[in-house]
Structure formats: structure tokens, C-alpha cells
Amino acid sequence: MKVDYSKWKTRSLSIENLKLDIKNPRFSYQSTKVMNQTEIIKYLVANHAVYELAKDIAINGYLLNEEPIVCKEGETYVVLEGNRRVAACKILLNPYKYLSSQRAKELTKYDKLNDKLTCYIAPNRRDADILIFNKHTGTPLQKWDKVSQDAFLVNLIKTENLSVEEVAYKLNVTLSEIRKALRRYTIHQYSIKLFQYEPYELEQIKEQSFPITTFERFYDSDQGSKFLGISFNSNGEIQQRLPQEEFDKRFRFIVEQILNQDLTSRTFNNDKDKQEYFTTIKNFNKERFDLDIPISDTPIKPIPTSPDSAPESEEKPESNGNESSETPKRSRKKSGLFVKYQWNKTGVSKLDALFDSIQFLNFKKHADMAGIALRCYVDMLVYQFLYKKKLLGELYKDDLANLTAHNEKKYAALKQYIQTTYAVGDDEVNDEELKGYTRFNTKENPNKIPELGNMIAYILKNPDLLNNNTRLLEVLKKFKNSRSTFVDLTSCNMFVHNEYYSANDSILEACANELAPVLDAMYKSIVDEK
């Protein structure tokens, strides 16, 4: 299936009219909805150094032999190859549409870009696929990560209705490479689905740098596949060999291990490392997993991998026929904080697990750990409270505005000092560069996790979030601002970061009791929003 690229025509096309490819694997899987053109460009700016590329083009001009590859779909020319470069050119033509005012101002200093680009016209997507794949799996261009490479192959199979064998032949790669890619893609998608209601973890999983090859190394090992109860069919689809609840429990554990860097290519490198890892699982996670459940010889049922629907959980693991002979497990005594409450039904597994830990951790013996756990729990609960109410975007705007005002004030003082001390004139100071050197330039980062203090401040500014309950608001205000013996936000932060500051169990208990009504109100709101 040889394609004669020499016959492809070139044409000068308007940059403004070129459409970025919504199917590009760099960003097509990043959102459950299809991104529009502006969203794609902003995503590329945030994640793929497109602002830097635009600046380079503005300074040095558009390099030869980097013409985009496009194809006509309907009345529109879609960019199949060169989305970063075309996005950079679109930014240069209209910087204020896509960038912060500071960045946009920087680009306006340079000569205006020609509003047309010479493009290669591909007859169709299929003919361009092999060229694009080879470019981004080699070294000439910015190399796609494994996640993007796998997404490209899957998209090729689905959109062009090709078999695995046909794709392997078309791209001149081995059949095993294609099948491995399909497995990685399936594993990645199932990871997304399992953590779809947990924004902390979900953000990391959806990152293109997510170490999917570490997960691959795990399930490719004999012990790893047995632990997960997993195999694959010829199309890379998961063949589940454990009951759903147990399967999800083990699958989640491995994802969390990877996210926490407890499982890396270094910790799971050779046979000795692998043996040590599985020994640790068996010795320290006896109550977490039911390792006595037998692995089914045949798949129990196929697992869908669409992130649009949550995995179904069975009420109980499948019976292994030995229930009657099992020794009943001793119930653990609750000796921690918040023992009178049942805040473990939010559906956010990490939050619920943390609450269970707080209830069972003896705070009188382990005050320091209980103090740290309390800080973490309050942080995550408040975050979920605002997340369920879809207010994190508004909070981000407030944080950005406050940070911008703070940075501008400090920068003005610094600039005044420099001008006064060294007799420097206004025309001798490049504000953008100086702000960059001193880090007083405010950078937009919509994915930034807000700080606990800022989240509490936002709630206090919007008291209707707590139904204008004066008692609850006063408790929250006290937690944020107190400088008394009350365990406040500052104290909680010091539990984590100050080696000389320790928690007092009686004061810790009093703080928990005082915070409880606020946390209870937030918990009920989260559950109601489910």
C-alpha cells in the first residue's frame, strides 16, 4: 500500500480559515465533549508550548519544509499534520483572543505574520495516516507520548473501519505492536472511567505523561496479570477473570500506586523487584483484597471502556464456596475523630477511605498523624463541596484576580526601587521581561488545584452556600483566622510542614467537634448533588 506523496499538490491557504483537527490524539481524548477551535488552541498553549513556538516564529519566521498537511472535508480544510504550527500562526494573527494580555502584548512587538500558509493537500485522511504516524513516532518532530500514539491507532481502526492486520500493514509495524497499543489504550480508558468522579486523580490520569508503560509492565508480568485477574482478546479488549467489585478494587490500587510513584519502572524492573513488590502486597494489604478468590478460567464478562459510563459494581464478590468455613473478621473499634458521623458515602473513594481512617486512628496515641489526616480531609471535603456545585471555575477567576493584583502591587514597588536606586528611566525597563525574571507575571492555569484557605475565603464571601447559617459561617471563619488555642488552618498547615509544631490531642478533639456541623452540612450537600 504505497502512497506517492510526490503527486500531492500544494496550495496557499488562509490561516484564519484552516481548522485544527478535533480528532488529533494530542487533545481528542482530553474531554468528554468535542473541543471547539478556541479551546483547542488554549489547550495547546497550556500543554504543548505553542506560545513559545509562536514567539519563535515571530522572531525567526516560519521555517521551510514544515508545511502543514491538510485535507478538504466538506468546504473546510482540516489540518491533519502541523496543528501546533497552525495554532501558533493563528495566535500571531490574533494574540489577544487566545493569550493573557501580557503574553499578547509581547507578541505584538514583532512584525505581523503573513496571513497565508503553503499547505500540502492530502487526498484524504487515510493516505496521510502513515506519514503522520511515522513523523510522530520518530524523532524529527515533537514525539507523541505513548498515550497519544495509542489514541491515534485506535482512532484509525474505528474511523476507517480497518482491522488490526490492515493497520499493521498500512503503518509498516508489527501486529504485536498494534495489539499492545490497543491494550494500553483500553487500560488507560478504564482508568479514566474508574476515577471519573475524583478530579485530583483524574487530572493526572488524563495527562499525556501518565506512565501507561509502567502499568503495561505490571499486567504483562505473570504475577501482575494474576493479581488483576486480567487477560485480553485479539482486539485488546479486557477479559475480566475476577468478580467486578474485587477486580475494580485491585485495578484502582495499581493506578493509585502509579500515581503515588510507589510503582515505577525502577520499583518493578527485574524479577527480584517484582517478587518484593508482590510480597509487600500480600503482607500489608491482607484486609484490602480477598486474595483467596480463584481466577476464573474463562472471562466473566467483557468490560466496556467508554468513559461516559461508570463501571458497574456487584453488591458482593462471587462466592468461592468456602464462606461457611471462613473465620468471622473482628470488628475494629473506632477511637478516632468524628466517630458519631457516617461521612463515607460520597462516592469519592479516596475521600471516603480517608474518613474511615480518621475514625479508626487513635488520635490520643497518634495526635500528629490525626492532625495531618484532619487537614487532608477538610481540604478534600471542601474541594468536593465546591466541585459538586460547579463553582471551581468562579473560584479560579477570583484567585487569579487576587494574585494578579498582589503581583502588580509588589512589582510596582520593585520597579520603583530599581528606578530610584539606579536612576533608570521608564523606557529602559522591559516590564514583561522583568516580571518574568522576578516571577511577578501571573500565569493562567485552569487546572490548578485551589488552596484550602482560598476555598474557605470563597465560601465566606458567598454565605448562601451554607444557607446563610450564621453559626456555621462563624465556625468556618474561626478556623480560617483564629490565632488562639483553637486548631485553625495555620495550625493544620504547621502539622504538615513545621518539624517543631505538634498537635495536642485534647485541643484536636475540641476542634473536630466544633468543625463537625460545618463538615456535616458540606457532606450532605455533596451527597444530595450526586
pLDDT in tens, 186-219: 899 999 999 888 877 887 888 767 888 899 999 9
Q: What is the pLDDT of residue 331?
A: 47
Is the model's pLDDT at 140 over the cut of 50? no
Q: 127-136, 158-167, 384-393 — which is least confidently predicted?
A: 127-136
Distance in angstroms (rounded) separating the CA atoms of residues 494 and 362: 20
Cell of 248: 475494580
**CB neighbour burial string for 219-254, b if at least 16 within 10 angstroms, e if fewer:** bebeebbebbbbbbeeebbbbbbbbbbbbbbbbbbb
Four-point Cα dihedral 518, 521, 526, 528, nearest 10: 180
Map grid coordinates 479514566 to a residue: 192
Strand, coil or helix: what is 527? helix
Q: How far apart, in whole angstroms, are the C-alpha atoms of residue 18 and residue 192?
A: 32
**Assigned C-alpha cell, 95:** 494574540
Phi, psi of 9 (to 5 degrees): -85, 160
Q: Which residue has the higher pLDDT, 307 or 66?
A: 66
Q: Are 473 and 446 in contact (CB under 8 A)?
A: no
Label each residue of 16-84 as H, E or C.
CCCEECCCCCCCCCCCCCCCCHHHHHHHHHHHCCHHHHHHHHHHHCCCCCCCCEEEEECCEEEEEECHH
- Compute φ and ψ for 239, nearest 5 degrees: -110, 105
Distance in angstroms between the alpha carbons of the first and the last residue of the chain? 52
| pLDDT score, position 260 | 83
Residue bearing the bigger pLDDT, 26 or 241: 241
What does the alpha-carbon distance between residue 263 and residue 503 come to, in Å, rounded to a whole number?
A: 32
Taking residues 46-61, report their average pLDDT.
Answer: 85
State the Cα–Cα distance between residues 289 and 517, nearest whole angstrom: 34
Alpha-carbon separation of residue 59 from 34, 119, 441 (angstroms)? 33, 21, 22
Between 210 and 442, the higher pLDDT residue: 210
% of the chain with per-residue pLDDT over 90? 21
Domains along the chain?
Answer: 5-128 (3.90.1530), 178-320 (no CATH), 331-530 (no CATH)
Asked whether 299 and 23 are in contact (CB, 8 A), the reply is no
Query: Residue 117 — φ and ψ, nearest 5°?
Result: -125, 145
Q: Are 231 and 297 within 8 A, CB to CB?
A: no
pLDDT-derived band at 401, boundaries 50, 70, 90: confident
